[in-house]
Amino acid sequence: MDVKELRSLFPALGRKVYGKPLVYFDNAATAQRPQSVIDEWTRISVESNANIHRAVHLLSEEATEAYEAARESVRMFINAPDRSNIVFTSGTTASVNLVAFSFGEAFVSEGDEVIVSECEHHSDIVPWQMMCQRKNAVLKVLPTDDTGHLKTGLLDSLITDKTRIVCVTHISNVLGLVNPVKDIVRISHLRNVPVLIDGAQGIVHTKVDVQDVDCDFYVFSGHKIYAAPGTGVLYGKRQYLEKMPPYMGGGEMVGTVRFSGTTYAPVPLKFEAGTQNFAGAATIRPALELASQISDDRELDRYSCSVRDFLLDSIMSEARIRLYGVPDDRDEKIPLFSFSVDGVHHEDLALILDKMGVAVRSGQMCAEPLMDRFGVTGMLRVSLAPYNTMEEAVYFMECLHKAISMLG
Amino acid sequence: MEKSLQEVENEVVDEFSMFDGWLDKYEYLIELGKALKDYPEDKKTEDRLIKGCQSRVWLDCSIDGGKIFLNADSDAIITKGIISLLIKIYSGRTPQEILSSDFSVVDRIGLKENLSPTRANGLVSMIATIREIASENL
């Protein structure tokens, strides 16, 4: 498949903004949706709209089938051992909150420690802070160096007998560098500490094999990998999921309910309280089918690497631009570039680029500690998907130069 | 006779209607931003700072002879340009005059996205603060 064919699958990419063709470079915030995802959402809503896991009528059976088929497609996509390892949530944030609460209830006591990295976004910091406050536990931080690489060498000395979990992002949404998660898991497991990997960006840009990485939890959102918004995944090892109490109660997450007490459904249903986003979840299947097709396509891969390399070289060669997340080797960088321009505010650049048809992100990117780390109040971020073209990248650089010269 | 607040609002709207394209509009705002009179560094204090996910805005208000005087600054130049318009319209007015405005001028000159409800948007908070001060000093 070439990039043109791929683009034709995404109706939103044909859109014009302010009379100009849309250049969508905010994919790390959310990706556009292919027609197959839109069709599946419509199909469920038109043909099979019924609540799942409870009724015996045909529509409910069809909706349940689509929902469980999506669970199987996630299992295959990340090579989880079993469907029961896959819990559906509303997104990465909900998945981390679920683990922070339920893992905290089961395994964390006063004085215990939780390790997060300095390059986490708020969704992998705040839930742990909240849990630590509730449990009187201590939050410790694994730092990054000036190029944005995690100081993995410090992890072993940060872990103590009190460490209960290590939480680290696969790829920071600001730095765009693939973290050595397999090493982090190995180091942590040698000390008998489980690891949660935030895969919000990692699931989109790397091939994830949870059994190979051997992580204990892996979380991601559907909407960043072409599925409907409001969908998310928590992969967890059974040994933990089974010991963790439910996060929310109600709906079909039960075994039996009596006023004298309730027993819970087996995993994963124990964690899926209330009516689920079944129309959204069903779209994960066509979304992951496309994602697999894209990642197996060598022509598309070569192309997107060439676009990434062009942007990396262009940005690195500008004396006025400071890139955050500088790779040692190109292949550890995803096509995501956060930077600042000397003497020019990120908001001004984003406003002007928008009027030129280029959608980028500016601000703190939900990662204030990382902004503080690099001593800035915000950054400009461009994040590409496989459907972005070299022409768009070249146009973006022209627009960036024009915006910089307008702003002086 | 001194122009009414509404007359100045309309003048600003007219001024902006002359621009055909977005980029011209922004060029003008950038000029206004650069021309905004200096905001004293010692007044860039925490209590005058409106933090935002995007730009930061400092707002200093004083009351003299029943009129409210505004001085403000931002680290982003387009926001500074809009601030200069707000000062032109609202500074040196009585609380009654300020509250007679519906504050739709930013929207009317087509800069609505600068007022989008992103987290703690500096301009939105600036307008809310101007209104608050006017109500408190009625």
The tens digit of pLDDT for each residue in A236-294 reads 999 999 999 999 999 888 888 998 889 999 999 999 999 999 999 999 999 999 999 99
Of A290, A325, A342, the position where a domain reaches its end is A290
Let me know whether A181 and A95 are in one domain.
yes
Let me know whether A81 and A208 are in one domain.
yes
- pLDDT score recorded for residue B115: 63
Contact A345 B77 (CB under 8 A): yes
CA distance A150 to B91: 50
Catalytic positions of B, written as ranges: 53
pLDDT band at residue B20 under the 50/70/90 scheme: confident
Contact B76 A377 (CB under 8 A): no
Give the closest of A345, A352, A355 to B55, CB-based: A345
Q: Please report which helix (H) or strand (E) contains residue B51, including its range.
A: none
Any domain includes A32 = no
Any domain includes A31 = no
pLDDT band at residue A234 under the 50/70/90 scheme: very high
- What pTM, to 2 d.p., does this model score? 0.94
Let me know whether A178 and A279 are in one domain.
yes
- Mean pLDDT check: name the lowest of A36-50, A221-235, A256-270, A293-307: A256-270
The pair phi, psi for residue A369, each rounded to 5°, is -60, -35
Contacts with A345 from chain B: Cβ below 8 Å: 55, 75-77
Token pair of A90 as six digits: 């509303």
Nearest partner of A361 among A380, A343, A375, A348, judged by Cα = A380
Give the CATH number for residue A10: 3.90.1150.10
Nearest partner of A137 among A104, A159, A167, judged by Cα = A104
Instruction: Return the number of other C-beta atoms located less than 10 Å from residue A375's C-beta.
Output: 7
Let me know whether A286 and A371 are in one domain.
no
CA distance A340 to A165: 34
Token pair of A400 as six digits: 């960036």
Region A334-362: mean pLDDT is: 96
Of A290, A317, A348, the position where a domain reaches its end is A290
Contacts with A362 from chain B: Cβ below 8 Å: 54
Any domain includes A353 = yes
The residue segments making up the domain with residue A268 are 38-290
Let me know whether A49 and A7 are in one domain.
no
- B83-101 pLDDT per residue, tens: 899 999 999 999 999 999 9
The residue segments making up the domain with residue B55 are 5-136
CA distance B10 to B17: 10
The residue assigned the tokens 């989880």 is A80
Distance from the Cα of A396 to chain B's closest Cα (Å) equals 16
CA distance A238 to A84: 8
Give the count of domains, chain A.
2
Q: Where are the beta strands (DSSP E) in A128-253?
A: 138-142, 163-169, 195-198, 217-221, 232-236
Give yes or no for residue B120 having a pLDDT over 60. Answer: no
Catalytic member of A119, A132, A167, A366: A366
Give the CATH number for residue A122: 3.40.640.10
CA-nearest residue to A362 within chain B is B54
CA distance A337 to A230: 26
Region A18-23: mean pLDDT is: 95
CA-nearest residue to A405 within chain B is B27
Contacts with A18 from chain B: Cβ below 8 Å: 22
Let me know whether A90 and A188 are in one domain.
yes
Let me know whether A175 and A75 are in one domain.
yes
pLDDT band at residue B113 under the 50/70/90 scheme: low
Give yes or no for residue B121 having a pLDDT over 70. Answer: no
CA distance A375 to A369: 10
CA distance A113 to A340: 35
- A55-108 pLDDT per residue, tens: 889 999 999 999 999 999 999 999 999 999 999 999 999 999 999 999 999 999
Average pLDDT of the residues of chain A:
96
Give the count of domains, chain B.
1
Contacts with A406 from chain B: Cβ below 8 Å: 23, 26-27, 30
Region B15-24: mean pLDDT is: 87
Give the CATH number for residue B103: 3.90.1010.10
Contact A348 B27 (CB under 8 A): no
Contact B26 A18 (CB under 8 A): no
Let me know whether A46 and A17 are in one domain.
no
Region A32-55: mean pLDDT is: 95
Let me know whether A265 and A341 are in one domain.
no
Let me know whether A305 and A235 are in one domain.
no
Contact A406 B77 (CB under 8 A): no
Of A269, A290, A311, the position where a domain reaches its end is A290
- pLDDT score recorded for residue A306: 98
Nearest partner of A176 among A345, A299, A312, A31, judged by Cα = A312
How far apart are the two ends of chain B, measured CA to CA in Å?
24
Distance from the Cα of A350 to chain B's closest Cα (Å) equals 10
Angstrom CA distances, A369 to A117, A143, A167, B52, stand at 10, 11, 15, 15
Contacts with B54 from chain A: Cβ below 8 Å: 346-347, 350, 362-363, 378
Region B26-34: mean pLDDT is: 93
Let me know whether A190 and A228 are in one domain.
yes
Of residues B19 and A7, the one with the higher pLDDT is A7
Give yes or no for residue A164 having a pLDDT over 90. Answer: yes
Let me know whether A266 and A318 are in one domain.
no
- pLDDT score recorded for residue B114: 64
